[in-house]
Structure 1
Amino acid sequence: MLIRQKPDIPSSEITSESSYLNRRGFIKASGLGLAAVGLAQRGWSAPGDELSFKPVSPSADNPFYTSEDLTPFQDATHYNNFYEFGTDKTDPARYAGSLSTSPWSIAVEGEVAKPGTYHLEDLLKGVDIEERIYRLRCVEAWSMVIPWLGFPLADLIKRFEPTLNARYIEFETLVRPAEMKGQRSRFSTIDWPYREGLRMDEAMHPLTFLSVGAYGKELLGQNGAPIRLIVPWKYGFKSIKSIVKIRFTDQQPQTSWQGIAPNEYGFYANVNPDVDHPRWSQRYERRLPSSLLKPSRIKTQMFNGYADQVASLYKGMNLRRFY
């Protein structure tokens, strides 16, 4: 397939990092809906490249908006979990520069009418890239507020035409040990590839998002380039990075952390302050940036603050048993 080269973009159309990080007024004025102009049409580019934006109509009641302060770009890109590059929080930023993301393809398998292997730029053709500010909380009790760029997962799922047997959706991360240092470690407890999954109604929910960028830039390697999942009412390990396979199935998939430590990590992984991790409390979280002298400790919210939107998905379920 012919891969188009990225055309020149006038500097007047590019959002600089400094202006982006200080544009709270612009975000509010545009109602958080920012559609990227021709992301798919201009071909794919390097992680961290800037995007140009076109404001869309503001929304008076936008579930993707929060008045909470954004996590600084430096914290969001240098304090990460991405075990493919190492287990220390600084390892992804240190080693993810080795990751090659172009070309990139995603295999679609299972209970769909249109299986196949799709080039990422083809999947993004005609897709309106919007901006959503989501809280993302990790099971280790730290959280961030990040302006993600992407589109609803449901929009992509519909294009594959799932069959009536498709009750779950499973995702897999790239396996490339030559570029992903953590996959070469003999001490790793993960059986690569990293796997995650959702129930189909969770996957189709309007809050569930596929991100291709953040902070006005295409995703960096440490944040899951070139495409990752965002499920904001669940703990961060559900939001799988660097996706290369999507499989539709009638059986609940075995996820990576569920397989490693089922007593600690369940399939659902809904943020729940009343269900502690066996080794620490989940009642409070550290909102980054946070330090010993300036701790930013806040109460954890049920479903990470998205209860009004998602609680109905779990009506009648025992959320202590189905953790």
Structure 2
Amino acid sequence: MHLIRKRDWDLPEAAATPEAFALNRRAAIAVMGGAALGFGGIGDALAADVPPPQGYSPSALRFDPGRALTPKKNVETYNNFYEFGLSKDIWRAAQKLPTEPWTVKIDGLVEKPFTISFDDLMKKVKTETRIYRHRCVEAWSITVPWQGFAMSDLVKIAKPLSSANFLRFTTLADQKVMPGLAIPFFPWPYHEGLTMAEATNELAFVGTGLYHQPMPKQDGAPIRAVLPWKYGFKSAKSIVRIEFVKDQPKTFWQQTSPDMYGFWANVNPKYPTLRWSQARERIIGTGQVAPTQIYNGYGKWVASLYAGMKQDKKLFM
């Protein structure tokens, strides 16, 4: 008899499914037509040490990813974008995302609320490439050369008031092209938040492209957040509004599954979700498995943001 012994970091197929979806599976399948779930098993191999990606400038490598780049094809075809479906294979459906023209509304506690086109915004910033690891809460990871600009530059353009303590991001919700918006138990539109200190940290980034090309629609075109020390759901895609607020905003997953997904979502291998371990991660494109690092390995740049805060599960969920 061949026995299969599951390790503590193995994920069952349902583990990649949002808790709210798992608890409301029958309703969601009726809406989505039985969308495929999960992302398969995790390989046995441990990730080997690899040299940093070659062919990029020192500035792109200054936040050393310590891993080879994920093949571009994988990054563009293995995606979470629940507005288009609950499987990872939504890249074709996402091509319906309308990106031209695109505007971003900036309001709340700012000197003067305004709406700016994506093209005009890009004229006000200096773009660069940064290679970051990206860690999904579903225990898989990728390493991507992002193009974009520092989020602190966006904050400067917005001119927030001194009373602004947080940013609240809202993403596109277009019922004409996004079938996932019909799922009734999700609090659409997708919304996320950061503290001002997080948004102005040197690691916080606004992504507008990857692999030297404009951002693919399924990866959050034309403009998204990139926050490599946090779980991927914090990096809001296809942003249409940035609101500066005084009080900590409620976020999409915090409202959907408060026992699993909180406001902070800082990566920490010590704290599992209710349904799976965060100790290890599957590296997409290789099938290898590597140990997860606290703050996804970026503690050097961000740990000081949380000095004095209780280092418990609340900070890492």
Aligned to 2:134: 136
Aligned to 1:107: 105
Asked whether the equivalents of residues 171 and 196 of structure 1 are also in contact (C-alpha less than 8 Å), the reply is yes
- Asked if residue 80 in structure 1 is aligned to residue 88 in structure 2, the reply is no
Asked whether the equivalents of residues 182 and 188 of structure 1 are also in contact (C-alpha less than 8 Å), the reply is no
Asked whether the equivalents of residues 111 and 248 of structure 1 are also in contact (C-alpha less than 8 Å), the reply is yes
Counterparts of 2:204 and 2:221, CA distance in 1: 17
Counterparts of 1:244 and 1:231, CA distance in 2: 18
> Any stretches of 5+ residues in structure 2 without a counterpart?
1-51
Counterparts of 1:272 and 1:65, CA distance in 2: 19
> Any stretches of 5+ residues in structure 1 without a counterpart?
1-22, 34-61
Task: Give the partner amino acid of 2:272.
Answer: D
Tell me the matched-pair count: 264
Asked whether the equivalents of residues 69 and 145 of structure 1 are also in contact (C-alpha less than 8 Å), the reply is yes
Q: What secondary structure does 1:26 align onto?
A: coil
Task: Give the partner amino acid of 1:278.
Answer: L
Aligned to 1:26: 55
Task: From 261, 264, 279, give the equivalent of 1:265.
Answer: 261
TM-score, normalization by structure 2? 0.81
Counterparts of 2:110 and 2:270, CA distance in 1: 37
**What do the CA deviations read for 1:226-262 (whole angstroms, capped 9, x no partner)?**
0000010000000000000000000100000000111
Task: Give the partner amino acid of 1:71.
Answer: T
CA drift at 1:65: 3.2
Counterparts of 1:67 and 1:311, CA distance in 2: 19
Deviating beyond 3 angstroms after TM superposition, the runs of 4 or more aligned structure 1 residues are none
Task: Give the partner amino acid of 1:276.
Answer: P
TM-score, normalization by structure 1? 0.79
After TM superposition, the structure 1 = structure 2 runs for residues 61-210 of structure 1, keeping only pairs within 5 Å, are: 63-91=62-90, 93-183=91-181, 185=182, 187-210=183-206
Asked whether the equivalents of residues 187 and 255 of structure 2 are also in contact (C-alpha less than 8 Å), the reply is no
Asked whether the equivalents of residues 109 and 116 of structure 1 are also in contact (C-alpha less than 8 Å), the reply is yes
Asked whether the equivalents of residues 172 and 193 of structure 1 are also in contact (C-alpha less than 8 Å), the reply is yes
Q: What secondary structure does 1:123 align onto?
A: helix
Counterparts of 1:307 and 1:179, CA distance in 2: 39
Task: Give the partner amino acid of 1:31.
Answer: P
Task: From 248, 255, 260, give the equivalent of 1:252.
Answer: 248
Asked whether the equivalents of residues 95 and 181 of structure 1 are also in contact (C-alpha less than 8 Å), the reply is no
CA drift at 1:120: 1.1
Counterparts of 1:273 and 1:167, CA distance in 2: 28
Counterparts of 2:184 and 2:69, CA distance in 1: 33
**What do the CA deviations read for 1:259-312 (whole angstroms, capped 9, x no partner)?**
01111001000001111101000000001114xxxx311000000000111111
Task: From 221, 227, 232, give the equivalent of 1:231.
Answer: 227
Structure showing greater relative contact order (alpha-carbon pairs closer than 8 Å, 6 or more residues apart): 2
Q: What secondary structure does 2:315 align onto?
A: coil
Aligned to 1:316: 308
**What do the CA deviations read for 1:28-65 (whole angstroms, capped 9, x no partner)?**
xx2144xxxxxxxxxxxxxxxxxxxxxxxxxxxx5323
Counterparts of 1:90 and 1:321, CA distance in 2: 31
1:68–1:79 Cα change, 3 Å: same
Counterparts of 1:259 and 1:115, CA distance in 2: 27
Asked whether the equivalents of residues 53 and 67 of structure 2 are also in contact (C-alpha less than 8 Å), the reply is no
CA RMSD of aligned residues (A): 1.4
Percent of paired sites with the same residue: 45
Aligned to 1:282: 278
